[in-house]
Copies of this chain bind each other. A is one copy, B any other.
Amino acid sequence: MISWNRVTIIGVGLIGGSLGLALKAEGLARRVVGVGHRQVSLDQALARGAADEATLDPAAGAGVLATSPALFRGVMERIGPALAPGAIVIDVGSTKAGIVAALEPMVPEGRVFVGCHPIAGSEQRGIEHARADLFQGASCILTPTERTPPAALDRVGQTWRGVGARVRVLSPQEHDRLLAEVSHLVHLASASLVNVLDDNPQTVVGPGWIDTTRVASGDPALWRDILLSNATEVAAALGQYQRNLDAFRKALLDGDGGRIEGVLTEAKTRRDRLIESKESR
């Protein structure tokens, strides 16, 4: 059993709070310190048992950056000098190349930074939605660099496995390319789909629309930052998507039923296979 004497979680919202709950539930951390900038969230984190102690000041120890990525650099400037030898800092940001390039050099000699992205959560935010099983069955991508000591990578991986995640290792660049396709593009496509509607009071939405657009209810400022931080890869994925839509439009206007069915069959086959391989993993 991997265990940590002290895990400091900076930002005890949906992800940070869930990680605190999971670490405690699995006995993976002797002490979880929650750090936030609103006392009310910290009080909730304490009340829910997501942290054993709480402070408004980033504290020393193994650190998890679970706050807004826009704050990562400022937080690292403050916690860097206080990190104990051997301490490991991870982040849980949704893009990796920029974050890893910015934060890794800020960690002092003898301390380690490991980029992480647990693909979990939903359009919800905040400690009130945190749950100990949020990472059960979720994928978590670790993005080491040539500077990452294998032992630290291994320890971080075992901790994510300990809270139920399936760990994958990719380079920060591979991560960003992949996530552009399965997450960032999906978000902008979903929001753009909602915006096709005018404000017709007759509009009726069913379960298909509700699921397809669920992510569009996510936090706009958070997603603005994610999309901008991975703009090149997102634009490339969007380009492919626009070409797919152009071809579909042509088939539709040509009344080409064979081609339409072919595209729909390709999508169904690919999706069913991905879901199946995810479930059997």
Contacts and interface: CB of A to CB of B under 8 A. Distances in A.
A227 to B, nearest CB: 6
A27 interface: no
Interface of A is mostly: helix
A113 to B, nearest CB: 22
A214 B263 CA distance: 15
Interface centre among A186, A196, A211, A244 (most CB of B within 10 A): A196
A277 B207 CA distance: 14
A213 B208 CA distance: 9
Contacts of A265: 220
A206 B139 contact: yes
A210 B248 CA distance: 22
A203 interface: yes
A40 to B, nearest CB: 23
What is the interface residue range for chain A against chain B? Answer: 35 or more
Interface string A239-272: 1111011101100110101001101111110111
A207 to B, nearest CB: 6
A183 interface: yes
Given A192-B244, A192-B267, A220-B265, A234 B252 contact: yes
Nearest to A244: B192
Interface string A214-229: 1111101101110110
Interface of A: 119-122, 138-139, 141, 168, 170, 174, 178, 181-183, 185-197, 199-200, 202-218, 220-221, 223-225, 227-228, 231, 234-235, 237-242, 244-246, 248-249, 252-253, 255, 257, 260-261, 263-268, 270-272, 274-275, 278
27 contacts: A119-B205, A120-B206, A120-B207, A122-B207, A170-B202, A174-B202, A178-B202, A181-B203, A182-B203, A186-B208, A186-B209, A187-B208, A188-B252, A190-B212, A191-B264, A195-B267, A196-B241, A197-B274, A211-B212, A217-B271, A217-B272, A218-B268, A223-B264, A228-B260, A234-B252, A235-B249, A245-B245
